[in-house]
Amino acid sequence: AACSSYRLRDALHPLWQSELSVSGGTRQSPINIHWRDSVYDPHLKPLKIHYDPATCLYIWNNGYSFQVEFDDTTDKSVIMGGPLENHYRLKQFHFHWGAINEWGSEHMVDSKVYPAELHLVHWNPVTSTSFEDAIMENNGLVVIGVFLKLGAHHAGLQKLVDALPAVKHKDAIVEFDVFDPSCLMPSCPDYWTYDGSLTTPPLTESVTWIIKKTPIEVDQNQLEEFRMLLFTSAGEEEKRMVDNFRPLQPLMNRTVRSSFR
Ligand SMILES: Cc1ccc(O)c(S)c1
Ligand SMILES: [Zn+2]
């Protein structure tokens, strides 16, 4: 009963009315990672990341988040290793965040929530011919999740933050060239990994999640710039883009593996 009422509340969340279409899901995201329940897997390799800053195309406001899109027509920006059997191409990255610092991330670690979470979305060019196809493929996608915590100014992020006023409204787009998202990665190699889903519609269960254990630090001004974006288009009544995170989903029959002891 608790689960169904939980799911009903979940399904009525403003951003996810369409939730009912996957309410039978068995591997939904995000989840609360219980550190002590995660299983160290010695076979997990270090994650290898090779991003070419020249593949960065533009930044836009898609009405859910702000998103930086990459040229994914070649293998110039890829990840491999970790839990992966082959390389995956970087397609885009975006963030989820809260109205205040007390919440905002999608995943949690022992119920600890962060003010924001970065998602770097990659697709499998070996088993799919396009990102759009990969969304529907089992393990067609890999999303690297990085927690953001309040702390020092993040110089690499600031280049992104400076572009946000240009994409304040839904569907706004601005050229954004030569950016290397590796600068948003924590130096600590440790991660958890589990099988899950997109956290926005179509919520398809096609994602191998790689959640970095260590957050990156950003300062208050940078978080507040995120919160000045709008869900709404120019001319509409303004709705601030905040709380664009999906509620926690049941772990069901899944194990979270860790790359570290
Ligand atoms: C492909 C994709 C789009 C939006 C998202 O929030 C996530 S998590 C993945
Ligand atoms: Zn996301």
pLDDT score, position 139? 86
Please tell me the predicted confidence (pLDDT) of residue 118: 98
pLDDT at 5: 45
Q: Return the bridge partners of 258, or none.
A: 40, 192
- Angle (CA) 92-96-101 rounded to 5° is 145
Q: ipTM greater than 0.85, yes or no? A: yes
Other Cβ atoms within 10 Å of 123 Cβ, number: 25
161 contacts: CB under 8 Å, gap ≥ 6: 222, 225, 226
Residues whose Cβ atom is located within 5 A of ion ligand 2:
119
- 119 C-alpha to center of ligand 2: Å? 5
At residue 1, the pLDDT reads 39
Rounded to the nearest angstrom, the distance between the alpha carbon of 67 and the centre of ligand 1 is 10
Query: For residues 192 and 68, what is the distance between their CA atoms, to the nearest angstrom?
Result: 24
Mutate to test the pocket of ligand 1, among 119, 124, 195, 208 (most ligand atoms within 8 A of CB): 119
> Of 148, 244, 144, nearest to 194 (Cα)?
144
Query: What pLDDT, on a 0 to 100 scale, did the predictor assign at position 23?
Result: 62
> Which residue of 18, 19, 194, 198 sits with most ligand 1 atoms within 8 Å of its CB, as the best mutation to test the pocket?
198
Does the beta carbon of 167 sit less than 6 angstroms from any atom of ligand 1?
A: no
| Whether the CB of 200 sits within 6 Å of ligand 1 | yes
For the chain (length 261 residues), average pLDDT per consecutive 10?
45 50 82 98 98 98 98 98 98 98 98 98 97 95 98 98 98 94 98 97 96 98 98 98 97 98 96
If you count them, how many residues does the chain have? 261
